[in-house]
Amino acid sequence: MFDKDLFNWTKTEIEFVKRMLKPWIVKVEFGWTNPDRDVRLTDKDWKQKTYEVKNNNSDTHVAFEYWYKKQPSWVFNSKADYIVYYYQDKFHRQTRWKFLERFMDLHKWKTSWWDNEQSDLYVMEREVADMLREWTL
């Protein structure tokens, strides 16, 4: 199961990069072994932006992992400039700090799931999660 999920996560990151590629992007780095970010893009002026990219398969709800094996995870552990969340065939982006600010105030509930219930997640309705984004790609 984990191998299949890892494949899907990697596929999502690659698709995000494909959609972001423009003539002014000169370097792409994937952070598959970097806990601070998933993707780093460098533009022609050598400015770098980092992204934490995740996906969701539900049609009605969006889940955000915040705790894994009794450690902060995902957006609460990432040092990326932007949080990117993929659902309904679109990438939703927001700066990490604005994401966290909005996230704290939105209606959500907690659940434990995944990896023998070692992951704790916040779940919210898709329409509520839409309020987290700055833009959609």
DSSP 8-state code for residue 44: T
Closest CA to 137 of 12, 33, 37: 12
Instruction: Write the pLDDT tens digit of every residue in 11-22.
Output: 999 999 999 988
DSSP 8-state code for residue 131: G
Instruction: Write the pLDDT tens digit of every residue in 94-110.
Output: 999 999 999 989 999 99
How many other β-carbons are positioned within 10 Å of the β-carbon of residue 72?
12
How many other β-carbons are positioned within 10 Å of the β-carbon of residue 121?
20
pLDDT computed for residue 114 by the predictor: 67
Would you say 75 and 84 are in contact if contact means Cβ atoms under 8 Å apart?
A: no
CATH class of 2-136: alpha beta
Q: Which pLDDT band, with edges at 50, 70 and 90, does 2 fall under?
A: low
pTM: 0.87
37-51, 73-87, 113-127: the lowest-pLDDT one: 113-127
Top-confidence residue, 136 or 100: 100
